Amino acid sequence: VQLQASGGGLVQAGGSARLSCTASGRSFSTHAMGWFRQDLGPERAFVAAISWSGNSSYYTDSVKGRFTISRDNAKNTVYLQMNNLKPEDTAVYYCAAHRIGQRVSLEKLDFGLRAQYDYWGQGTLVTVSS
């Protein structure tokens, strides 16, 4: 089972980038998916999560209105569209699959906790220059 993240790179402040995360080896169509990020600190922080159906999503406050998470279950892929990027968005971004499947609604999950995710991508670096 593998989650492959891509789409990172160097972006100017105010610019946009779209991250993709594709699963192989199994389907996560019944699982919530999340994006986390890690800068120079030790912690991997929650960014966004999306329900198994794609009908609901949540964001950390600092990215609300700028980032959009989406998914295409037919392609086994989750996306993170990032607009109006700021230097403080610079980080390694990780996608992850929540440990609970079975089409559980996002509201019933601790989607903001790193420990609730079983499968992780390798991370993709986004660098925002000022």
Structure tokens at 106: 């996002």
pLDDT in tens, 31-71: 999 999 999 888 999 999 999 999 999 999 999 999 999 99
pLDDT of res. 41: 85
What mean pLDDT do residues 73-94 have?
A: 97
> Angle CA(66)–CA(20)–CA(24) in degrees, nearest 5?
150
Residue type, 95: C
What are the φ/ψ torsions at residue 97 (nearest 5 degrees)? Answer: -105, 130
Q: Positive or negative, the Cα torsion across 55, 62, 117, 21?
A: positive
Task: Give the pLDDT band of residue 1 (cuts 50, 70, 90).
Answer: confident
Q: Work out the end-to-end distance of the chain between its first and last CA atoms, rounded to an integer number of angstroms.
A: 37
Strands annotated E in 16-121: 17-24, 33-38, 45-50, 57-59, 67-72, 77-82, 91-98, 117-120
> Angle CA(18)–CA(23)–CA(26) in degrees, nearest 5?
160
